[in-house]
Homo-oligomer: A and B are copies of this chain.
Amino acid sequence: MLHGNAVVGQSGGPTSVINQSLVGVIREVRKHNQIEQLLGARHGVRGVINDDFIPLNDVSDELLNRIAITPAAALGSTRDKPDQAYCEKIFRSFERHNVRFFFYIGGNDSADTARLVNDLARQAGHELRTFHIPKTIDNDLRVHDHTPGYGSAAKFVVSAIMGDNYDNLSLQGIKVDVIMGRHAGFLTAASVLARQHEEDGPHLIYVPEAPLSEEKFLGDVDRVYKKHNRCLIAVSEGIVVPGGKTWAERMEEGKMERDSHGNIQLSGSGALGDYLSGLIKAKLGSKLRVRADTFGYLQRSFPGLVSDVDAKEARMVGEMAVRYSMDETNLEGSVAMKRVSEKPYEVKTFLTPLSTVARETKHMPAEFIEGGNNITAAFCDYARPLVGELPRVGSFEELRR
């Protein structure tokens, strides 16, 4: 039976529940004496190559309970994307520390790192079991039905849009809300769940999977504004123009009709939102009340606002990674979820080879998108159980219905 130490690390953009997965690993490891020391790598693989570890065997339950509900990566995260040479350093660190179990919490890049390190270990004849634990607010991992982190970020987006719909009803005008998602529109699409009545916003939803021209955008806004005397727009930061370039790239090139202000940076910047509101004013009327908010990092790291389902599943995939690792037939894999029942919603985990998840991302399927500016009921069925309970709001508009 394989005995040795284990390393756990966190990578990529934080989420509100990534620490649930970490605590899942820590708690489950304590039940299995095949694992001696559990080392937490600070800032992911960077901690591995720098021998920067936090010993996790004896952390108190009291602290673990608080860390579990704390957003962002408690071990620290990294944006490093290791190449072959970097992965060799990781592997050598594993040899030095007699690491036999590697649990890496992250997205598709992290799955790829895990795969590379795992291959090196095989080649060297160093017995290592490598598991990828999914995490991404983008929900863009192949094979996985959905990923931990998405449900809570989606709950933030739905809540924010729901509130903004009422704000927009109070003081009418045109409002642009820019939502994270460079390549996949799942998070922006979730905004559709904020709609409770026909006239509720978001009135227009744009995702990167549906190319959007300036003409279509302006035509849509004009039509909605004329109908409702207001317009609430949810737009992915990664929207593209027909032909495949992103709006941000076009803004940088100065080919859109208004100049941008220096370098365009999608997250941590209001540039796209300000560009879109400027465009609306320039083309549809300078006296219109147009505002833009970019939800930014709040979407992924907001304490006290998680989806219960998401928190529970994030914990579960962490625990399951450890359990899978105890079975000698499981040498490597990504811990994925599949739905075994729709009503009631129920999932099971399974192990999928790292190579099936690594690198490439998943996009929104065509049946989730409608007319290039809307999201379908099929998506709502898919996403609703992941987001969970929402506030039961109300409006005097209901009196007229």
Residues of chain A at the chain B interface (Cβ within 8 Å): 10, 13-14, 16, 40, 54, 59, 63, 65-67, 69-79, 159-160, 162-164, 166-167, 169-171, 175, 258-262, 265, 267-271, 273-274, 277-278, 290-298, 300-305, 390-396, 398-399
Contact status of A67 and B175, CB under 8 A, knowing A76-B170, A167-B300, A270-B269: no
A301→B76 contact, CB < 8 A: no
A302→B160 contact, CB < 8 A: yes
Chain B residues positioned under 8 Å from A394 (CB to CB)? 63, 65-67, 70, 74
Number of copies: 2
Contact status of A396 and B269, CB under 8 A, knowing A73-B170, A160-B298, A171-B79: no
Give the distance in Å from the alpha carbon of A261 to the alpha carbon of B270 in the complex: 12
- A166: which of B72, B78, B293 is its contact (CB, 8 Å)? B72
Give the distance in Å from the alpha carbon of A204 to the alpha carbon of B296 in the complex: 20
Taking the nearest CB of chain B, how far is it from the CB of A104, in angstroms?
15
A396→B72 contact, CB < 8 A: no
Chain B's closest residue to A18 (CB) is B170
- A260: which of B16, B261, B398 is its contact (CB, 8 Å)? B261
Give the distance in Å from the alpha carbon of A166 to the alpha carbon of B304 in the complex: 13
- A268: which of B16, B163, B293, B392 is its contact (CB, 8 Å)? B293
Give the distance in Å from the alpha carbon of A268 to the alpha carbon of B273 in the complex: 9
Taking the nearest CB of chain B, how far is it from the CB of A389, in angstroms?
9
B270→A270 contact, CB < 8 A: yes
Give the distance in Å from the alpha carbon of A72 to the alpha carbon of B396 in the complex: 12
Chain B residues positioned under 8 Å from A259 (CB to CB)? 261
Give the distance in Å from the alpha carbon of A67 to the alpha carbon of B163 in the complex: 12
A396→B74 contact, CB < 8 A: yes
Taking the nearest CB of chain B, how far is it from the CB of A275, in angstroms?
8
Chain B's closest residue to A72 (CB) is B166
Taking the nearest CB of chain B, how far is it from the CB of A170, in angstroms?
4
Residue of A70, A270, A290, A398 with most partner-chain B CB within 10 A: A270
A291→B268 contact, CB < 8 A: yes
Contact status of A77 and B171, CB under 8 A, knowing A69-B391, A270-B273: yes
Which 9 pairs of residues, A with B, have the shortest CB-CB distance? A270-B270, A268-B291, A66-B394, A261-B261, A293-B296, A72-B166, A163-B301, A70-B393, A167-B301
Taking the nearest CB of chain B, how far is it from the CB of A123, in angstroms?
32
B163→A303 contact, CB < 8 A: yes
Chain B's closest residue to A22 (CB) is B396
B298→A293 contact, CB < 8 A: yes
A40→B396 contact, CB < 8 A: yes
Chain B residues positioned under 8 Å from A302 (CB to CB)? 159-160, 163
B303→A162 contact, CB < 8 A: yes
Taking the nearest CB of chain B, how far is it from the CB of A77, in angstroms?
4
Contact status of A71 and B398, CB under 8 A, knowing A171-B77, A262-B278, A268-B277: no
Taking the nearest CB of chain B, how far is it from the CB of A381, in angstroms?
23
Contact status of A69 and B392, CB under 8 A, knowing A162-B303, A291-B297: yes
B297→A167 contact, CB < 8 A: yes
Taking the nearest CB of chain B, how far is it from the CB of A136, in angstroms?
14
For this complex, 12 residue pairs linking A to B, each with C-beta atoms less than 8 Å apart, are: A63-B396, A71-B393, A72-B166, A159-B303, A162-B303, A167-B297, A258-B262, A269-B274, A291-B297, A293-B294, A303-B390, A303-B391
Chain B's closest residue to A42 (CB) is B396
Chain B's closest residue to A293 (CB) is B296
Contact status of A75 and B396, CB under 8 A, knowing A261-B261, A291-B297, A302-B163: yes
